[in-house]
A and B are shown apart, each in its own frame.
Chain A
Amino acid sequence: MTATDFFQWVGTMPPVVQAVIVVIAFAIVVAVILFLVDVAPRSGPWYTAARLAMCLLVPFAVMWFFRSYYWAIGVAVVVGGVFFLLDYRSRAGKGYLIQLVAFMAPAFLLLTVGLVLPSIQTFVASFMNSSGKSFIGLDNYLWIFGQPDGIRVVVNTIVWVLVVPTVSTIVGLAYAVFIDRTRGEKVYKVLVFMPMAISFVGAGIIWRFMYEYRGPQYDQIGLLNQILVWFGGEPQQFLLNPPWNTFFLIVVLIWVQTGFAMVILSASIKGVATELLEAAELDGANAWQRFRSVTVPSIRPALIVVLTTISIASLKVFDIVRTMTAGNYETSVLANEMYTQFSKFEAGRSAALAVILFVLVVPIVVYNARQIQKQREIR
């Protein structure tokens, strides 16, 4: 049975059975490898046999499963090399190398194939034409920035990343402070945290229903338009009129992310030293002054985590725009436009949009890496 046979056999099973079989098969492979790795670095005839078996069995298993000499040769070289090094270094009491490789290899293999190589390919592809065959320099980028639609996509993305983190964090923080140590705090938290478990597609449908428009002569079925009518206003096409429709989409992400901000900030507020707050109270500081000069500085790391996480989520927002307007009516953002170009077979433009997205994420992560470094230095 080769890998292809195995996957074809699995493919004939019902979907959930497939899932379970794959997980079990994976767990067995991991267990066997870890077992061999575990017994290998010790001394004694039995362990030597295990090592020998590993040197022979692993490449054979690979050849049998993948029907690939390259893989088998590669694995044999790696396994043999590791054992050589292991034997060599274990004399100095450093018999850990094989374990290190076994523990790390799956993650590194997947990260290389799944993230590192593709990102490089995307970067290169952003300088190629739509078929990916000829080099056209910066044309894809010029195309994006050379037309009002492209600029609007970038501007919209920047609006998202400015508004969503700010509003979610402020509302989440206020809510966390208000409900801190009140009766029914748990229920309050769950109500606001619940949208986190709802998919963006689901959230998109929920809010399209809130914004639903009927002509003034009909009964409204969308709550927001009904409220407008109750107050004597005209029903509005919330999702059709730029630039406000972008903000009505932004409301959805704020609705989802506020719960996240609230839970993290709330836990961090509970960690603020009571003595500090009491001391401030004795000094005559009122509630707002205590909040500003004691609570906020103490929860600063948590605020950074929350702002970063939500900023990155807003940069990559895709599902909400896709399900609510599909990027029409001037609401498109980078992630959505990237998918649109990809489905139009414009690989180069799609790649260029992905690279712009990458460039926008970099400063946020660099800032965070610096923060981590600072914290490590303090320790």
Chain B
Amino acid sequence: MSSAMNPGTAATPQSDVAMSTRAITTGGGLNASAGRARKRLSRPWASAASIIIAVLWTIPTLGLFISSFRPRDQILTSGWWEFFLNPEVTGENYVDVLSSGTTQLTMLESFVNSIAITIPATIVPLMIASMAAYAFAWIDFKGRNFLFIFIFALQIVPIQMALVPLLSTFSRGLNLFGLQVTLPLGASGGYAQVWFAHTMFALPLAIYLLHNFMSEIPSEIIEAARVDGASRGQIFFRIVLPLTMPAIASVAIFQFLWVWNDLLVALVFADGGAAPITKLLAEITGTRGNDWHLLTAGAFVSIIVPLIVFFALQRYFVRGLLAGSTKG
């Protein structure tokens, strides 16, 4: 999940991932409506408990959201619930926070940075992972199981293990046994470092999840294509990729959320002008932790894109799921 997988939950071994992928893609009660009649809660206490949990889970975000639209002096002197007695709305906090920031860049620029970091860091690892997953699922070779378990086991490695050496690899170039293999990323490395890092860290989980989904494609489909003279590449592009779309979509949303919401990789790799919005927000929280008019609006600027992506893609997921269920 969020971090996937949380995300912060990026690298997560999941023992029955096809199941969990489906669970995520279902989102709402899609299965529930299938075949079973809906009924009202039969137990009033269960109903009360679920309402209490729903309210508890919503209030913190709601409070911050309301505060972000209240005038500065009101945020600092009265609680956000007073808003209902004295509703007064302003957009000033948002204007202020977008132009504030560090000496190097403003919140608005870091918001753009977040977009620039997230697009390649979501698409590139998915391309690489789907190719590798295809090879694992449909090309038979010696040592396949061993290699696959090795990839799964790589999820053990917390990214904290890799951060510092990777940073020096980026700044000095890759040096193997005294042989300079690549040049340092150098001045051009602003975003490139972050892209590379996110791509590398995403691979084990993405390969694992996509492999599980791809290997469930009925082999008759692929054999039939073979007989018709399709090459591996054609099978990959025309058959496997389209049928794997639901899984690719859910891995993509997790990777997107993880990269957008990440702070650790950003702190280590995204220096100066390339910093994403989470890094700037964390800095503002450290230095101006009592400027609640900035913090509330800033938090919402950072939350809005993942929320939009999350809700927009949920529908797409359901469609992908339905397409997948008719394949047999």
Segment of A117-125, A144-152, A241-249 engaged in the interface with chain B: A117-125
Interchain CB contact under 8 A, A199 and B129: no
Separation of A151 and B44 alpha carbons in the complex (Å): 47
Separation of A198 and B158 alpha carbons in the complex (Å): 22
Which among A188, A312, A339 is the interface contact of B264 at CB below 8 angstroms?
A339
Which among A115, A178, A193, A287 is the interface contact of B204 at CB below 8 angstroms?
A115
Interchain CB contact under 8 A, B46 and A178: yes
**Minimum CB–CB distance for B295 against chain A, Å:** 5
- Collect the chain A residues with CB atoms within 8 Å of residue B57's CB: 191-192, 194-195, 255, 258-259
Interchain CB contact under 8 A, A368 and B15: yes
Interchain CB contact under 8 A, B263 and A119: no
B286 at the binding interface (Cβ < 8 Å): yes
Interchain CB contact under 8 A, A106 and B13: no
Interchain CB contact under 8 A, B139 and A96: yes
> From residue 117 to 157 of chain B, which have CB atoms closer than 8 A to chain A?
117-120, 123-124, 127-129, 131-132, 134-135, 139-141, 149, 151-157
Residue of B nearest to A189 (CB): B28
- Collect the chain A residues with CB atoms within 8 Å of residue B299's CB: 201-202, 205-206
Separation of A23 and B116 alpha carbons in the complex (Å): 11
Interchain CB contact under 8 A, B164 and A122: yes
**Minimum CB–CB distance for A288 against chain B, Å:** 11
Q: Is the interface of B mostly helix, strand, loop or mixed?
A: helix
Residue of B nearest to A209 (CB): B64
- Collect the chain B residues with CB atoms within 8 Å of residue A133's CB: none
- Known contacts A221-B80, A226-B81, A200 near B261 by CB under 8 Å: yes
Segment of A52-60, A79-87, A135-143, A352-360 engaged in the interface with chain B: A352-360
Interchain CB contact under 8 A, A209 and B67: yes
B58 at the binding interface (Cβ < 8 Å): yes
- Collect the chain B residues with CB atoms within 8 Å of residue A315's CB: 158
**Minimum CB–CB distance for A210 against chain B, Å:** 5
Separation of A351 and B201 alpha carbons in the complex (Å): 18
Separation of A335 and B267 alpha carbons in the complex (Å): 13
- Collect the chain A residues with CB atoms within 8 Å of residue B191's CB: 15, 18-19, 22
Interchain CB contact under 8 A, A194 and B31: no
**Minimum CB–CB distance for B38 against chain A, Å:** 5
- Collect the chain A residues with CB atoms within 8 Å of residue B195's CB: 22
Which among B20, B117, B201 is the interface contact of A114 at CB below 8 angstroms?
B201
Separation of A96 and B141 alpha carbons in the complex (Å): 9
Separation of A262 and B2 alpha carbons in the complex (Å): 14
> From residue 199 to 219 of chain A, which have CB atoms closer than 8 A to chain B?
199-202, 204-210, 212, 219
B32, B47, B204: most-surrounded residue (chain A CB, <10 A): B32
B234 at the binding interface (Cβ < 8 Å): yes
Separation of A103 and B281 alpha carbons in the complex (Å): 39
Interchain CB contact under 8 A, B307 and A194: yes
Interchain CB contact under 8 A, B261 and A199: yes
Interchain CB contact under 8 A, A22 and B120: yes
A61 at the binding interface (Cβ < 8 Å): no
> From residue 25 to 51 of chain A, which have CB atoms closer than 8 A to chain B?
26-27, 30, 34-35, 37-39, 42
- Known contacts A26-B127, A174-B49, A358-B157, A125 near B119 by CB under 8 Å: no
A282 at the binding interface (Cβ < 8 Å): no
Interchain CB contact under 8 A, A196 and B281: no
- Collect the chain B residues with CB atoms within 8 Å of residue A119's CB: 157, 161-162
- Collect the chain A residues with CB atoms within 8 Å of residue B268's CB: 339, 342
A268 at the binding interface (Cβ < 8 Å): yes
Interchain CB contact under 8 A, B282 and A201: yes
Interchain CB contact under 8 A, A223 and B115: no
- Collect the chain A residues with CB atoms within 8 Å of residue B243's CB: none
Interchain CB contact under 8 A, A268 and B23: yes
**Minimum CB–CB distance for A86 against chain B, Å:** 13
Residue of A nearest to B208 (CB): A372
Which among A205, A267, A365 is the interface contact of B31 at CB below 8 angstroms?
A267
Which among A15, A201, A322 is the interface contact of B261 at CB below 8 angstroms?
A201
Which among A221, A350, A354 is the interface contact of B292 at CB below 8 angstroms?
A221
- 12 more A-B contacts (CB under 8 A) besides A107-B132, A202-B278, A319-B261? A15-B115, A68-B183, A122-B162, A122-B164, A174-B49, A182-B50, A186-B27, A188-B54, A199-B2, A263-B27, A323-B285, A368-B14
Sample 29 A-B pairs with CB under 8 A, ordered by A number: A7-B188, A20-B119, A22-B120, A23-B119, A71-B182, A113-B169, A115-B201, A118-B169, A122-B161, A178-B53, A190-B27, A192-B57, A194-B61, A200-B2, A201-B282, A205-B285, A206-B60, A209-B67, A226-B79, A260-B2, A260-B9, A305-B19, A310-B9, A316-B159, A317-B8, A318-B8, A323-B263, A323-B281, A339-B264
